[in-house]
């Protein structure tokens, strides 16, 4: 061990204090990416209403997930060439520019583009924080400081939803629309992180030659981009329309070229194809895609469900979502040790997948009269199930990876979870808004002869309220309800909004049911895993488990 490493472990020395400051800088960077996703998810209903793009909100979410997923392995390899500090500061800078632009967005299309830029920085923050920690700390110190990084995840998960609800519920803060602070709050945190890393991180970088798989990353975008566009716009264009089929074909060509590039790049690929010769690697990452669908799908849909179907304010919904984070933390913390001692990760994955599937089935059975205590209990159970799935999939992957593949296996964990999250978010949001129109129309037809509903339609005071106009026009057949802006539900007459809320709730129930069926596929995949894990080295400190609780 070098003298510098010894000094870094000795409390009271300048080296020890310098390491502490660098760790704080890294924690601030992780706080940026972890807190941002939770805050934005809790605020998204209000953001989409303000930008008149509720039905297009999948674009803003999936753009971030896709770019951050692709950027994560690229930043790791680029930092080997150009140094961790430069790339980490670049990642913070990109994230801050993206955050500022998001705060200035005037449409959902602009927001999606700016979130894509922000996601590039977010992927770099995630990849490089743990790489820098590995550079400056011994294994003993990494284990010690891992508690600090776990605290960041916990704080982001618990505080993010209420903060997002606060911003979304505020009219203006410091003369700026409240929802814009969901992005602008990143600016002061990021500036502090930049200053700390710039001034205190002085360890010289060790240049290592790397081949960077730019081509693979580009073809992956060509593959995923058109498919995500189709998943969001296919309902408008028609699933068999020439435009839809053309984009599907472009995505297929992108997939073929991506696989060809990955084969040519060998170990330098974004995801080396040789790893798929290991059946367990293939199975566990298939399950990981399913987990990604469940994780990101619940993060996006629960705030919408609580606000649109249960009528909660953004602040109330944010407080309810704390239960999900508590559920994740209550099962994920310490579970790694239990799994490693027992070696029975198949049983734990079955438990996690089954728990999430069962909870989503229960959500699908709720109606307008379901009590909030039951909803809160299901939110906690959903988080608990996800908290079981996280460490199980990670350990199953790492315990069956060769030592030289540990890094790329951990990167694959984040990669496939992100791909699942992007696909699930796009498809489920598209499904919900596709079904909502017809379900609302059916619900309105059912109550047209209801006495209270008719009384509201003939009440001059109700007709004078512009918020009621779209519902009245829908009943008369002279117009349609525009779900791109659902803010009318907040001020319209409750007698008129009841069928609209019922229709939205029925569409959401169908999505929950679809999500439960998808999780059952993951439950089936779990049976393909070995009953016992190989007992190899402990997972690397800073592996994705700690970060996932927040996202």
- What one-character-per-residue DSSP string does 122-163 give? HHHHHHHHHHHHHHH--HHHHHHHHHHHHHHHHHHHHHHHHH
DSSP conformation letters of 511-536: HHHHHHHHHHHHHHHHTTS-SS----
What is the model's pLDDT at position 181?
A: 94
Asked if the structure places residue 482 within a domain, the reply is yes
Q: How many residues does the chain have?
A: 551
Verify that 42 and 168 share a domain, yes or no: yes
Is 489 inside a domain boundary? yes
CA 214 to chain centre: 24
Range list of β-strands (E), 23-175:
172-173
Q: Are residues 198 and 289 in the same domain?
A: no
- CA dihedral (300, 305, 308, 313) in degrees, to 10, reads -80
Last residue of a domain, one of 226, 249, 269: 269
Q: Count the Cβ atoms, other than its own, within 10 Å of residue 341.
A: 9
Whether 313 is in a domain gets the answer yes
Q: Tell me which of 183, 204, 225 is where a domain ends.
A: 204
Nearest to 489 by CA among 504, 501, 503, 476: 501
Determine, yes or no, domain membership for 392. Answer: yes
* 427 belongs to a structural domain: yes
Q: How far is residue 507's CA from residue 486's CA, in Å, rounded to a whole number? A: 15
Our count of domains for the chain comes to: 3
- What percentage of the chain exceeds 70 in pLDDT? 84
Q: What is the pLDDT of residues 380-423, one digit of tens each?
A: 999 888 888 877 887 777 677 776 666 677 677 778 888 888 88
Q: Which of 241-245, 403-407, 457-461, 470-474 has the highest mean pLDDT?
A: 241-245
Residue 468 confidence class, pLDDT cut points 50, 70, 90: confident
| Average pLDDT of the residues in 264-269 | 85
Confidence at residue 379, expressed as pLDDT on a 0 to 100 scale: 93
Q: How far apart are CA 142 and CA 132, in angstroms?
A: 11
CB-CB contact of 548 with 417 (8 Å): yes
User: Domain range for residue 469?
Assistant: 274-551
d(CA 146, CA 167): 31
∠427-415-320 over CA atoms, to 5°? 60
Q: Are 161 and 249 members of one domain?
A: no
Q: Which tokens sit at 311?
A: 């009528």
CA dihedral 494, 496, 499, 505 (to 10 degrees): -40
| Residue 239 sits in the same domain as residue 278 | no
User: What is the arithmetic mean of pLDDT over 202-210?
Assistant: 60
pLDDT, position 22:
77
* Contact indicator for 504, 308 with CB cutoff of 8 Å: yes
Structure tokens at 431: 């499904």
- For residues 102 and 28, state if they share a domain: yes
Residue 173, beta-bridge partner list? 176
| Alpha-helical regions (H) of 448-493 | 451-457, 460-463, 469-476, 488-491
Residues 32 and 144 in one domain: yes
- Is residue 209 situated within a structural domain? no
CATH code for position 163: 1.20.1250.20
Q: Model confidence at 96, in pLDDT bands (50, 70, 90)?
A: very high
Averaged pLDDT of the chain = 82
Give the C-alpha distances (Å, rounded to integers) separating 63 from 32, 110, 119, 225, 426. 17, 11, 7, 9, 10
306 and 248 in a single domain? The answer is no
Q: Is the pLDDT of residue 216 over 70?
A: yes
Residue 48 lies in a domain: yes
Give the residue ranges of DSSP H helices in 266-313: 279-304
User: Which of the listed residues 254, 269, 284 is the one where a domain comes to its end?
Assistant: 269
Residue 421 and residue 398 share a domain: yes
Name every residue whose Cβ is closer than 8 Å to that of residue 417 and which is 6 or more positions away in sequence. 288, 289, 291, 292, 295, 544, 548
pLDDT at 427: 82
Judging by beta carbons within 10 Å of its beta carbon (0-12, 13-18, 19+), is residue 540 exposed, middle or buried?
middle
Among 369-378, 383-392, 540-549, which is the least confidently predicted range? 540-549
189/247 same-domain check:
no
173 band by pLDDT with thresholds 50, 70 and 90: confident
Q: Are 395 and 539 spatial neighbours (Cβ–Cβ below 8 Å)? A: yes
Q: How far is CA 106 from CA 47, 51, 57, 232, in A?
A: 10, 6, 14, 20
Both 442 and 459 in a single domain?
yes
Separation between Cα atoms, residue 545 and residue 548, nearest integer Å: 5
Looking at residue 484, what is its pLDDT? 87
539 vs 188, residue with greater confidence? 188
At 314-338, the pLDDT tens digits run: 889 989 988 988 888 888 776 766 7
173 φ/ψ angles, rounded to the nearest 5 degrees: -130, 120
In the chain, count H helices and then E strands.
Answer: 22, 2
Same domain, 250 and 174: no
Residue 409 lies in a domain: yes
Task: Please answer whether residues 333 and 466 qualify as being in contact, where contact means their C-beta atoms are separated by less than 8 angstroms.
Answer: no
What value does the mean pLDDT take over residues 242-256? 92
Structural contact between residues 420 and 292, judged by C-beta atoms closer than 8 angstroms = yes
Which letter does DSSP use for residue 172 in this model? E
Q: Which DSSP symbol is given to 308?
A: I
pLDDT at res. 478: 66
Q: How far apart are the first and last CA of the chain?
A: 36
Are 386 and 245 within one domain?
A: no
pLDDT beyond 60 at 340: yes
Residue carrying structure tokens 């814009």: 180
At 538 the pLDDT is: 41
């Amino acid at each position: 061990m070098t003298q510098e490493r010894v000094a870094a472990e000795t409390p009271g020395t300048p080296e020890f204090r310098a390491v502490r400051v660098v760790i704080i800088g890294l924690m601030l960077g992780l706080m940026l990416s972890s807190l941002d996703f939770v805050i934005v998810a809790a605020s998204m209903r209000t953001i989409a209403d303000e930008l008149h793009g509720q039905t297009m909100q999948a674009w803003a979410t999936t753009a971030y997930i896709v770019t951050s997923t692709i950027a994560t392995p690229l930043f790791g390899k680029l930092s080997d060439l150009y140094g961790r500090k430069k790339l980490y500061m670049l990642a913070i800078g990109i994230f801050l520019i993206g955050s500022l632009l998001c705060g200035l967005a005037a449409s959902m299309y602009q927001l999606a583009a700016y979130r894509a830029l922000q996601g590039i920085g977010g992927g770099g923050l995630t990849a490089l924080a743990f790489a820098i920690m590995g550079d400056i700390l011994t294994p003993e110190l990494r284990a010690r400081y891992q508690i600090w990084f776990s605290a960041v995840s916990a704080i982001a998960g618990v505080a993010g939803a209420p903060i997002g609800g606060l911003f979304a519920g505020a009219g203006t803060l410091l003369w700026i629309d409240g929802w814009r602070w969901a992005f602008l709050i990143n600016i002061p945190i990021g500036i502090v992180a930049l200053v700390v890393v710039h001034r205190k991180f002085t360890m010289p970088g060790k240049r290592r030659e790397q081949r960077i798989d730019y081509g693979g990353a580009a073809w992956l975008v060509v593959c995923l981009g058109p498919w995500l566009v189709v998943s969001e716009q296919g309902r408008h264009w028609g699933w068999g329309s020439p435009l839809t089929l053309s984009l599907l074909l472009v995505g297929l060509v992108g997939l073929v070229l991506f696989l060809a590039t990955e084969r040519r790049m060998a170990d330098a690929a974004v995801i080396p194809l040789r790893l798929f010769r290991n059946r367990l690697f293939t199975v566990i990452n298939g399950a990981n895609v399913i987990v990604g669908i469940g994780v990101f799908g619940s993060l996006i849909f629960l705030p919408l469900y609580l606000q649109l179907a249960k009528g909660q304010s953004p602040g109330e919904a944010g407080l309810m979502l704390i239960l999900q984070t508590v559920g994740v933390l209550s099962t994920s913390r310490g579970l790694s040790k239990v799994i490693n001692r027992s070696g029975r990760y198949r049983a734990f994955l079955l438990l996690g997948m089954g728990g999430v599937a069962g909870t989503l089935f229960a959500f699908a059975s709720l109606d307008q009269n379901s009590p909030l205590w039951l909803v809160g209990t299901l939110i906690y159970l959903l988080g608990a199930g996800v908290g079981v799935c996280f460490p199980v999939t990670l350990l199953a992957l790492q315990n069956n990876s060769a030592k030289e593949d540990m890094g790329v296996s951990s990167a694959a964990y984040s990669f496939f979870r992100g791909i699942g999250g992007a696909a699930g978010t796009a498809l489920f949001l598209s499904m919900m808004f596709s079904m909502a129109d017809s379900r609302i129309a059916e619900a309105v037809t059912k109550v047209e002869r209801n006495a209270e509903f008719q009384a509201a339609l003939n009440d001059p005071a109700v007709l004078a309220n512009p918020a009621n106009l779209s519902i009245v026009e829908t009943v008369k057949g002279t117009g349609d309800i525009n779900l791109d802006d659902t803010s009318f539900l907040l001020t319209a007459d409750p007698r008129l909004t009841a069928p609209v809320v019922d229709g939205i709730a029925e569409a959401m129930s169908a999505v929950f049911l679809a999500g439960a069926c998808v999780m059952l596929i993951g439950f089936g995949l779990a049976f393909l895993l070995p009953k016992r894990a190989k007992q190899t080295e402990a997972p690397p400190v800073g592996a994705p488990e700690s970060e996932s609780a927040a996202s």
